[in-house]
Amino acid sequence: MGDAVPVMAPVQRDIAAHTMGADYCQSPDCQINYGSGCDGNQKPSGVDTSTIARPKLGKVTYGSVGIYDCVNSGDIALTFDDGPWNYTGDLLDKLAKYQAKATFFITGTNLHKGQINDPSTPWPSVIQRMAAEGHQIASHTWSHENYSQLTTTQFQNQIYWNEIAFNDILGYFPTYMRPPYSICPTNTCGSQLAALGYHVVYFDLDTEGYLHDDPTQIQVSKDIWDDTVPGTNPCRSNFLQIEHDIHYQTVYNLTDYVLTSLFKSGYRSVTVGQCLGDPSENWYRAGSNAVPSYTFTPRAATGTWSCLTQSQTSTGTAPTSTLVVSSEGNCGSGITCQGSTFGNCCSVNGFCGSSINYCAPYPVMIQFLLRLPQEQHQPALFKSQLTEAAATDLRVLALGSGIAALNTGSVEALTTIA
């Protein structure tokens, strides 16, 4: 989902991005097929991971055509590719300052930075810090090669060797990856990655920091963000954004702008796994160590336009409910989704959730109500379609979104329903 509809298909855009900037392609300083000395042909030291079982846990798709959208409304997953790099530590400082959580698609050896698990480099501690501060760590392959130029064995090494390095640093390795250049044909690469137990993640918002890495140009990236995110409804929208932490203006200029706007616009800053609703234990596979439990709670949105419970908290205008909060995901007959762990919206079928399938009918009905002259409001019509709890949710949504100030009659009609 997500409101962003890229003008150019994401795959095309990423190919353009990576071919325009030479620094992206300096995984090796020579082509992988023409020299054993190339960075990409140097296997990292560490325990082999290729024999570790790869059960496909959770509901998120493995391999196949890949993932372009978040699932949970109100979530924005910021992602950073190609690092870690010299700016990544400062980026982590910034994310901590905003209490934001990002996902890093990490390349094992590129830009002549050395191998990420080489203890003589800063990278092992930078990656350990990412994990310790609640960011998600994902793979962007060992040396950022183009899938279409690799043999099957070379491609498997691109996956396995990054796993060896991750396991050496963390004791576990990711189940999420993004293909370099976004090149990953479904029937070959996609099926190979499914067999290797990977979720293939693309994006639906590219703010193009790589194209505008200049103080006079980075405003273009801010404009892309501003044209896409602010003003959208976090009750119905989400975004899976792509950036690269190897670019100065992206880290030191654009990131502050994006994070300020993100929270102000009523969104949460979460990892890719969170925005897909995937339990954190599925984000990684155990290697030398078990996968640690994830204990971070996303910072609440602080904007004037936020969704449901956040509106209640920030405005204090939500009506007091005598309904019982759902403990099993059902709603109706005196059970409300408000404040439940399943999501705040009660679907027309009587189940709690936070995606568009659960929440969309209410804004649509409010808009319908607002379009009608007051004398034509037909509470009975809506009453026949809404459970009691859903009607309460609808009133909360109407109040929280400021519609009450626009049309008191509509809210009165809804009050009548509930």
Rank residues 46 and 180 by Cβ distance to Zn ion and give the closer one.
Answer: 180
Rank residues 250 and 340 by Cβ distance to Zn ion and give the closer one.
Answer: 250
Q: Which residues contact 321 (CB under 8 A, 6 or more apart)?
A: 336, 338, 392
| Residues 227-266 interacting with Zn ion (rule: CB under 5 A) | none
Per-residue contact string for residues 189-228; x = within reach of Zn ion by CB under 5 A = ----------------------------------------
Report the nearest approach of Zn ion to the CB of residue 6 (Å): 17
Total residues found in the chain within this entry? 418
Q: Which residues contact 56 (CB under 8 A, 6 or more apart)?
A: 62, 194, 197
Rank residues 26 and 309 by Cβ distance to Zn ion and give the closer one.
Answer: 26
Yes or no: say if 163 and 127 are a contact pair by the CB < 8 Å rule: no
Among 81, 168, 206, 245, binds Zn ion (CB under 5 A): 81
Q: Rounded to the nearest 5°, which phi and psi values hold at 101?
A: -120, 130
Specify the stretch interacting with Zn ion by CB under 5 A; choose among 80-88, 222-230, 285-293, 299-307.
80-88
Q: State the number of binding residues for Zn ion (CB under 5 A).
A: 3
Angle CA(239)–CA(186)–CA(156) in degrees, nearest 5? 100
Alpha helices in 63-108 (DSSP H): 88-98
Sign of CA dihedral 282, 284, 290, 295: negative
| Residues 277-316 interacting with Zn ion (rule: CB under 5 A) | none
Rank residues 104 and 284 by Cβ distance to Zn ion and give the closer one.
Answer: 104
Specify the stretch interacting with Zn ion by CB under 5 A; choose among 77-85, 119-127, 224-232, 265-273.
77-85
Report the nearest approach of Zn ion to the CB of residue 144 (Å): 6
Specify the stretch interacting with Zn ion by CB under 5 A; choose among 74-82, 269-277, 304-312, 388-396.
74-82
Q: Is 39 in the site for Zn ion (CB under 5 A)?
A: no
Q: Which residue has the tokens 């070959």?
A: 188
Task: Find the residue with minimal CB distance to Zn ion.
Answer: 81
With CA atoms as reference, report the closest residue to 161 among 46, 73, 75. Answer: 46
Q: Rounded to the nearest 5°, which phi and psi values hold at 205?
A: -145, 115
**CA–CA separation, 54 vs 61, rounded Å?**
14
Q: Is 82 in the site for Zn ion (CB under 5 A)?
A: yes
Report the nearest approach of Zn ion to the CB of residue 246 (Å): 9
Report the nearest approach of Zn ion to the CB of residue 182 (Å): 8
Report the nearest approach of Zn ion to the CB of residue 18 (Å): 6
Q: Which residues contact 35 (CB under 8 A, 6 or more apart)?
A: 28, 41
Annotated catalytic residues are 81, 244
Specify the stretch interacting with Zn ion by CB under 5 A; choose among 71-79, 82-90, 222-230, 310-318.
82-90
| Residues 166-185 interacting with Zn ion (rule: CB under 5 A) | 180
Report the nearest approach of Zn ion to the CB of residue 364 (Å): 39
With CA atoms as reference, report the closest residue to 219 among 264, 254, 259. Answer: 254
Residue type, 136: Q
Q: Rounded to the nearest 5°, which phi and psi values hold at 361?
A: -60, -30
Q: Which residues bind Zn ion (CB under 5 A)?
A: 81-82, 180
